[in-house]
Structure 1
Amino acid sequence: MKDSELKERLETYLGGRLKGKVEISNMISLSGGACQENFSADIIVAEGKEKGTYQTVYRTDKGAALLASLSRIDEFKVCKMAFEAGVKTPEPFWLETDPEVTGNPFYFMRRISGKATGRFVVKDPSLNKIRKQLTSELAENLAKIHSVSPETCKDESLRKTLSLGQDLDDMVVASGSVQNLRNQLEGMKEPYPAMEMILNWLEKNALASDRIVLVHGDFRTGNFMVTPEGLQGIVDWEFAHWGDRHEDLTWLCMRDWRFGKLNKEAGGFADRSEFYEAYEKSAGVTLDPKKVTYWEVMGNLRWAIGCIGQSERHLSGKDKGIELAAIGRRAGEMEYEAMRLIEESLS
């Protein structure tokens, strides 16, 4: 669908929904993720209860969704749940579940300022004064994300979706994560012996979680917006699920998300110890070093499988792109890092 046609359809749709004339301007396609598409849009509602001017982002599906990624409908529900828990994330609104309107379900969210690019966050001089502040802000917000649990989720359907088929009465949620990764690995076209070895180690060393919580699922540099004033908002919730808090904490610290600043283990902008201490203070918990190692190994395996999956999307012809093709080559890096962590844990 052409951008002009999409704009006209959305104006007609919102006009009917909000019972007043709606005008959309400055509708610009933004860089989206692997399974969603975003447009910046300024919206004027001329009359009715929701009269006013809205600076928004229109968010919908595109291409083939990645395995375990949420639909836009479920993503909207997660964003709303997180927003209501006090997490600094764009407020979502105007969800439409009927795909007939534009071809896919969609929703709008408040547009926030800032940049998320990894190299900007870790290297730009304008952020030099606030990186320490950013560390504490992210830790505080991650603690708020983890304050949401299956018990506090009122939507039964969403509670089930976020379980990813796991038994929420089983506190060893790592076992379910291992099984999900095993299913993905068995579905791959070629054998990957190193991944099999890593998976076997994870299976044998699974530990019980202290609590099952809402996990962002992709909490890393590149998925939060930052300005010289600090954190503006956490975005990209399509991999959210119920799980172990250590999953998010170690995903941020994975080597691949440091964007050249390898000595700053927390996202390329902070020391891991500083970030973990700030999180412990905000969440009122003590992190387990064994679980930190375990979930970092898990994260590297998950991303190694993800890299292969990205390249397969290109090779299959379903979603051609040089970036997708190049990402496949990163799988070996993740295999090596996971095996290094395992080796260190045995010494």
Structure 2
Amino acid sequence: MTAESQQALADGLQRVMARAGWTGPATGLLRLSGGANMQSWRFEIGGEPFVLRRAPSAEWVAGRALDMAREAAVIRCAQAGGVPAPEVVAELTPADDIGLGFIMRCVPGSPDPENALSSPPALLEEIAAAMAKVHALDPAALPFLPVLEPAAGVEALAAQFAEAGGDRPPIALGLAWLRANLPAPAAPTVLHGDLRIGNVMVENGHLSAVLDWELAHLGDPHEDLAFGCMTVWRFGRLDKRGFGLGQIDDLARAYEAAGGVAFDPARFRFWLIYRTVWWALSALSMGKGWRSGADRSLERVVVARRAAEQDLDLLLLLETEAPEAERGRPLPPSVSPPPTAEGEPSAAEILTAVSEWLAATVKPHMAAGRERFELAVAQNALGIVRRELAGRPNPHDKALCETILTGRTTLAEPGLLANLRRRVLDTLAADMPKYPALAEARRIWESTT
């Protein structure tokens, strides 16, 4: 953002806050580093801190089930219902000419996953209690919330998969499993939809607020329980399957003790697999959003490559469906990368040189915060391209996906699981080699070779 556009944003925030009763200039404007879908800007008026939550573009928010005004209404309802949530103090209007969004009081604490995951075990109980309070909200108070029922949700994912090319076998396996294991619809319950480490503010080891309500809807409480237990949202805490803070049994006990519904392991597994498929497709959709011009940020196009993480997680979740002989089958070898040529530098070596130059020359001149975050994203992007040039396997196989979805191919097919394991390991090694579950999957799967 240029100095001129940043000043225009500060001027607009001053107008919005004056309408809500706060006078004075908006100072200390700072883009916060988090937020793959929405922008967050911290600023102060009269020494009091606030946060602007803003859509990256009108085109981006147009595809959401909740517009910004309705998201603000959900937050207000949650706070009134005793959920620790930020206070919404003002909403943007078109006349403000600074986009779509709303302003909240700044909440103490940090959303940094490392901060949360280093907290005492009591934090899991506090998150479970907050979740139970969300689920106790009256759906009639939020009549605009969409409803997610299992069968309709799975078919919506299948349609999204087809639109994205319908050619990633682990996603096809997930969809086939979901269709075969549909639970009965649950009583419509208000769900947060994105309750996980990274979307909670934690101060001194305690929960201070639940953030990012853009995915709120009505559905099965087990969906919220499962989402925060996905591997991707545990940030390397592979041994602590309950939000990265404890075990799933710990989460279930704390949730039930806080007034939540009785925990059902079968429903939990359904929604864990559902949400893993959902996040794989959400990652792929980032590429579509970038191509359309709705959001041309570098972060958007790089996140699209995170679908490979969910390919791995889906295989880890679903491989128990395969016969024992297939689970023990050795993996085929990886395709060897081409030898490094002598003489002129390769394209991969040039990308390495650019990344090293950015780290040595540009990074020292950047303040901590959004700019350094974007530099890290840029270096990640260069690494993805460099590793693809070195030999990334093709993760696409539409013909195989079609036979999986029609039930003609399952994980009982001799060699299928071993081949998919190898393909997923090598694809993820090219796309996101630092994904914590990759090393663990290699340890487990390659020990059979």
Secondary structure of the structure 2 residue equivalent to 1:239? coil
Secondary structure of the structure 2 residue equivalent to 1:2? helix
| Distance 1:13-1:271 versus aligned 2 partners, 3 A rule | closer
Among candidates 195, 210, 213, match of residue 189 of structure 2? 213
Secondary structure of the structure 1 residue equivalent to 2:110? coil
Secondary structure of the structure 2 residue equivalent to 1:23? coil
**How far 1:229 moved relative to its partner?**
4.2
**How far 1:304 moved relative to its partner?**
0.7
**How far 1:84 moved relative to its partner?**
0.8
How many Å separate the matches in 2 of 1:332 and 1:108?
A: 35
Counting only pairs closer than 5 Å after superposition, residues 57-206 of structure 1 correspond to structure 2 as 57-63=51-57, 64-65=59-60, 67-68=63-64, 70-96=66-92, 98-122=93-117, 124=118, 127=119, 131-151=120-140, 153=141, 155=142, 159-160=143-144, 162-163=145-146, 173-189=149-165, 191-206=167-182
Q: Which runs of 5+ in 2 are unaligned?
A: 324-449
| Distance 1:190-1:197 versus aligned 2 partners, 3 A rule | closer
Q: Quick check: which one's helix share is greater? A: 2
Native 8 Å contact 1:304 1:331 kept in 2: yes
Q: Quick check: which one's strand share is greater? A: 1
**How far 1:252 moved relative to its partner?**
0.6
Counting only pairs closer than 5 Å after superposition, residues 297-336 of structure 1 correspond to structure 2 as 297-314=273-290, 318-336=294-312
Could you tell me which residue of structure 2 aligns to residue 50 of structure 1?
A: none
Query: Any idea what the Cα deviations from partners look like across 1:180-230, whole Å, max 9, x if unmatched?
Result: 212321221452343233213212321124421111111111000112241
**How far 1:120 moved relative to its partner?**
3.0
Could you tell me which residue of structure 2 aligns to residue 36 of structure 1?
A: 38
Report the identity percentage.
28
How many Å separate the matches in 2 of 1:333 and 1:23?
A: 44
| Distance 1:68-1:204 versus aligned 2 partners, 3 A rule | farther
TM-score w.r.t. the length of structure 2 is 0.65
**How far 1:54 moved relative to its partner?**
4.1
How many Å separate the matches in 1 of 2:199 and 2:216?
A: 13
Secondary structure of the structure 2 residue equivalent to 1:283? coil
Counting only pairs closer than 5 Å after superposition, residues 11-50 of structure 1 correspond to structure 2 as 11-16=14-19, 18=21, 21-44=23-46
Could you tell me which residue of structure 1 aligns to residue 7 of structure 2?
A: 4
Query: Any idea what the Cα deviations from partners look like across 1:41-87, whole Å, max 9, x if unmatched?
Result: 2223xxxxxxxx74311222113527545321111011111111100
| Distance 1:21-1:265 versus aligned 2 partners, 3 A rule | closer
Matched, 1:236 2:212: yes
Native 8 Å contact 1:149 1:242 kept in 2: no
How many Å separate the matches in 2 of 1:317 and 1:72?
A: 20
Query: Any idea what the Cα deviations from partners look like across 1:255-275, whole Å, max 9, x if unmatched?
Result: 111111100112222222111
How many Å separate the matches in 2 of 1:36 and 1:275?
A: 29
Native 8 Å contact 2:52 2:101 kept in 1: yes
How many Å separate the matches in 2 of 1:147 and 1:272?
A: 21
Number of aligned residue pairs: give it.
318
Aligned Cα root-mean-square deviation (Å): 2.5
Secondary structure of the structure 2 residue equivalent to 1:22? coil
Larger radius of gyration: 2
| Distance 1:144-1:16 versus aligned 2 partners, 3 A rule | closer
Q: Which runs of 5+ in 1 are unaligned?
A: 45-52, 167-172
Give the letter aligned to residue 329 of structure 1: R
Among candidates 215, 227, 243, match of residue 251 of structure 1? 227
**How far 1:94 moved relative to its partner?**
1.6
How many Å separate the matches in 2 of 1:296 and 1:31?
A: 27
**How far 1:330 moved relative to its partner?**
2.9
Give the letter aligned to residue 56 of structure 2: K
Give the letter aligned to residue 6 of structure 1: L
How many Å separate the matches in 1 of 2:13 and 2:174?
A: 48
Secondary structure of the structure 2 residue equivalent to 1:242? strand
Query: Any idea what the Cα deviations from partners look like across 1:127-171, whole Å, max 9, x if unmatched?
Result: 3xxx211011000000001112423x1x5xxx23x215x6xxxxx
Give the letter aligned to residue 135 of structure 1: L
| Distance 1:32-1:62 versus aligned 2 partners, 3 A rule | farther
How many Å separate the matches in 2 of 1:210 and 1:13?
A: 41
